[in-house]
């Protein structure tokens, strides 16, 4: 039996790793699977853990007010040390591009475990966009032993960095596994909040907005808010719902510019299951999130991405997302095009999602089982 430690710390990581935890747990004879959370995000992380019924064996509980990247990185490496020394995992699984991912991969490497990177190979090739995620990904890639790439384009990125082709496995993205497993459950068991939101919307076209990226703080968020204000005022029949990130650099401009507009509803960040419902209910999604770019096309939702570049170019090429950056005029123009041109909307909403079929976790665990068989045979 091999020991597997799955480490994550933020809500997006938890969502994408939850179905993998469940898949590994199907094979208790083959794998002793344990979960360690850093709690880089505390409350939002816990919501996801409850929804997927995951009880971590290790909880580092590292979130602190005003925590910066220096302190967080050091704390993750230091606090993971006794976990790694106690459990002695053969494999440490990390996901994506967070500070938890980067620091945990280094700690796993120090411990002698094999590092396995879920959602490997995404690149913008601009170390400041997104910051610090692009460099987190690249550092993780250098210490990774097995790279689980969501797409062929991600695989090609890794090959260009001289990663051994035998260590790269194209799986699709685990976020699609999580989404497809969750959406029907959410429809059947709507929360009280969802029922109230549905009543408030009264059949209006819903524009769902999310925004939190560091590179958009300051003038970027001001331009975004001015665009949303114009859209709301010129299309009074549209309802914009914006679950606002708790970072003060987001809260201040959003509340100041959008707080008094009748058809803009500013709400607290949503629990995962409520957010899934909102995505499914939305007509258009306007976001700077990476995960939403992958999820929304599976629900047939056009996505406008408020970033200058994306590490998910497959979505741009497939036509399921449009990059609008923080350009006020472009955000307005592309939103109106989708609202006013039914043909354009239908074409974009019906395009194939390049990020998978919901079977990524099965492919990952099957690879690990076969890997162990090969090792035992040798």
Which active-site residues does the annotation give?
A: 97, 119, 133, 212, 214, 245
Residue 158's SS3 state is helix
Q: CA 204, CA 282: separation in Å to the nearest integer?
A: 10
Interstrand relation of 2-8 and 91-95 (parallel, antiparallel or unpaired): parallel
- Are 312 and 123 in contact by the 8 Å Cβ rule? The answer is no
207: which 2 tokens?
């524009």
Q: Kindly list the strands in the beta sheet with 264-267, ordered across the sheet, starting from the edge strand earlier in the chain.
A: 264-267, 238-243, 205-210, 284-287, 303-305, 321-323
Residue 169's closest CA among 375, 378, 368, 307? 368
CA 349 to each of CA 14, 251, 291, 304, 318: distance values in angstroms, whole numbers, following the listed order: 27, 31, 17, 12, 11
107: which 2 tokens?
């700690």
Degrees (nearest 5) of the Cα angle 263, 268, 271? Answer: 115
Interhelix angle 11-24/174-188, rounded to 10 degrees, is 90
Instruction: Please give the full DSSP string across 226-275, using - where no structure is assigned.
Output: HHHHHHHHH-TTEEEEEE--S-HHHHHHHHHHHTT-TTEEEEPPPPHHHH
Q: CA 371, CA 378: separation in Å to the nearest integer?
A: 11
């Amino acid at each position: 039996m091999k020991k597997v430690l799955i480490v994550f710390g933020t809500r997006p990581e938890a969502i994408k790793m939850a179905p993998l935890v469940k898949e590994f747990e199907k094979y208790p004879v083959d794998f002793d699977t344990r979960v360690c959370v850093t709690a880089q995000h505390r409350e939002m992380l816990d919501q996801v853990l409850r929804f997927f019924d995951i009880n971590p064996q290790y909880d580092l509980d590292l979130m602190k007010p005003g925590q910066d990247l220096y302190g967080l990185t050091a704390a993750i490496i230091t606090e993971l040390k006794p976990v790694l020394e106690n459990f002695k995992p053969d494999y440490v699984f990390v996901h994506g591009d967070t500070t938890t991912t980067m620091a945990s991969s280094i700690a796993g490497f120090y411990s002698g475990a094999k590092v396995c990177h879920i959602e490997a190979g995404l690149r913008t090739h601009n170390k400041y966009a997104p910051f610090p995620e692009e460099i987190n990904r690249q550092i993780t890639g250098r210490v990774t032993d097995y790279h689980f790439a969501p797409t062929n384009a991600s695989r090609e990125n890794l090959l260009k960095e001289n990663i051994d082709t035998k260590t790269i496995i194209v799986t699709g993205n685990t976020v699609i596994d999580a989404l497809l497993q969750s959406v029907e459950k959410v429809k059947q068991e709507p929360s009280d909040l969802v029922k109230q939101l549905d009543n408030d919307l009264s059949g209006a076209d819903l524009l769902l907005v999310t925004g939190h990226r560091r590179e958009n703080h300051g003038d970027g968020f001001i331009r975004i808010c001015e665009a949303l204000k114009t859209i709301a005022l010129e299309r009074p029949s549209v309802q914009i719902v914006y679950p606002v990130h708790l970072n003060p650099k987001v809260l201040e401009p959003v509340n100041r510019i959008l707080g008094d507009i009748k058809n803009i509803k500013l709400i607290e960040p949503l629990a995962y299951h409520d957010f899934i419902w909102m995505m499914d209910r939305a007509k258009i999604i306007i976001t700077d999130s990476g995960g939403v770019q992958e999820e929304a096309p599976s629900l047939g939702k056009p996505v406008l991405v408020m970033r200058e570049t994306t590490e998910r170019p497959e979505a741009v090429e497939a036509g399921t997302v449009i990059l609008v950056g923080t350009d006020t005029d472009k955000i307005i123009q592309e939103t109106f095009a989708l609202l006013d041109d039914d043909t354009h909307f239908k074409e974009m909403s019906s395009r194939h999602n390049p990020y998978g079929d919901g079977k990524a976790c099965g492919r990952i665990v099957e690879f690990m089982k076969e890997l162990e068989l090969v090792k035992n045979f040798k």
